[in-house]
Amino acid sequence: MKNLLGSSIKDLENVALDYGQAAFRGRQIYNWIYNYRNKKKNIEQIEVLPIDFRKKLKEDGFKVSELSFQEKNLAKDGTLKLLLSTCDNESIECVGIPTEKRLTACLSSQIGCPMDCKFCATGKEGLKRSLKASEILDQILFIESEMNRKVTNIVFMGMGEPLLNIDELLLAIRSINEDFQISHRKITVSTVAIPKMIKKLSAKSFQILGKCQFTLAISLHASNQKIREMIIPSAKNYDINNIIRDCRNFVKDTGRRVSFEYLMLSGVNDKLEHANELSELLKGFQCHVNLIQYNQIDEVIFKRASSKNLQLFQSRLFNNGIAVSYRKSRGIDKNAACGQLRQNARS
């Protein structure tokens, strides 16, 4: 299979030349693929191309989209969750989160997830495989088509651990930036944190992309190692102090601040003593904390922290000099919020 999605203008010009066509035919393919207004993404539907050229491309196995639509769920707040099927009959979920001025695409990087975080639905059935860059990008096309809007922001906070699929992740980011015309500064890569991979992410970004200007978000969710190991089993392989050290180096290498995701769990990590401990851990470098209310899933005993505890926690961090905000969940009524995505079709 030869997927054209993720191809640069030069790549597509070369495809056209290989078939005896003028180079501008490649540019026509390019403009057709990345224009969200063009709903038809099959090779034979690219109407600006000669019929014979389209036929040859299709016969030779060229495609634009490998994923297929399975089902969708629209939440009351306008958040759209899509269930998509892969060519090998697996399923992935992605989410479109609209506001008046932006459309954020929450993308998956793997089918399932190997990290088995205790608060998250995605890892309950393990990892099937990583996604190719074209499968990552295809999610954007589906969101744009269903919502009839151009995606403006990207968060890799869907299914999977992005840093365990780093090469395809960066190839996708290259295309998101250059082809979908979305700035690095509007792209966020969220990770549970894998030993040695934060440094590798910045190094490979400069190598593959020539820059590293996207936002790195660490799913920290704890103020100390003991709590982190309780809710994130893989944490035993990566001490929280080493994570912070590597994040400080990431800021030095890239000039970009790091965000820390902190899921507020009642009675687990939501006390003022935890806020003080977190403040001490993060003080002295360019970072930001996103406090997140827990989104309930089956099979899990965790409960969301009270609004009072969240407000007190946020105030304590702020008073301790830590940049902090509260991120409101979207799409909860359709299981489209953070931690609720999973690879099978559950409504």
Q: What is the CA radius of gyration of the chain?
A: 21
CA dist 279 to 29, 198, 222, Å? 51, 21, 11
Q: What is the pLDDT of residues 196-244, one digit of tens each?
A: 999 999 999 999 999 999 999 999 999 999 999 999 999 999 999 999 9
Q: Does 13 qualify as catalytic in the annotation?
A: no
CA distance 347 to 329: 18
**pLDDT value of position 347:** 40
**pLDDT value of position 337:** 47
Is the whole model's pTM more than 0.75, yes or no?
yes
Which of 225, 224, 323 lies closest to 271 in space, CA to CA? Answer: 224
**Helix, strand, coil in percent for the chain, rounding step 5:** 40, 20, 40
- Is 303 strand, coil or helix? coil
Catalytic residue among 66, 93, 168, 261: 93
Q: Which two tokens stand for residue 255?
A: 């000039």
End-to-end CA distance of the chain: 32
261 close to 209: Cβ distance less than 8 angstroms: no
Helix spans in the chain (H): 9-18, 23-33, 51-59, 133-147, 166-178, 197-208, 225-231, 240-254, 272-282, 307-319
- Residue tagged 């990345």 (tokens): 34
**pLDDT value of position 118:** 85
Q: Does 47 qualify as catalytic in the annotation?
A: no
Check whether 346 has a pLDDT greater than 50.
no
Which of 280, 265, 272 lies closest to 315 in space, CA to CA? Answer: 272
Which domains can be identified in the chain, with CATH numbers?
A: 2-63 (1.10.150.530), 68-334 (3.20.20.70)
* DSSP 8-state code for residue 44: G
- How, if at all, do strands 80-85 and 91-98 pair? antiparallel
CA distance 339 to 146: 23
Catalytic residue among 94, 247, 287, 338: 338
Q: What is the pLDDT of residues 59-108, one digit of tens each?
A: 999 999 889 999 999 999 999 999 999 999 999 999 999 999 999 999 99
Predicted confidence band of residue 334 (pLDDT cuts 50, 70, 90) = low
Q: What is the pLDDT of residues 147-202, one digit of tens each?
A: 999 999 999 999 999 999 999 999 999 999 999 999 999 999 999 999 999 999 99
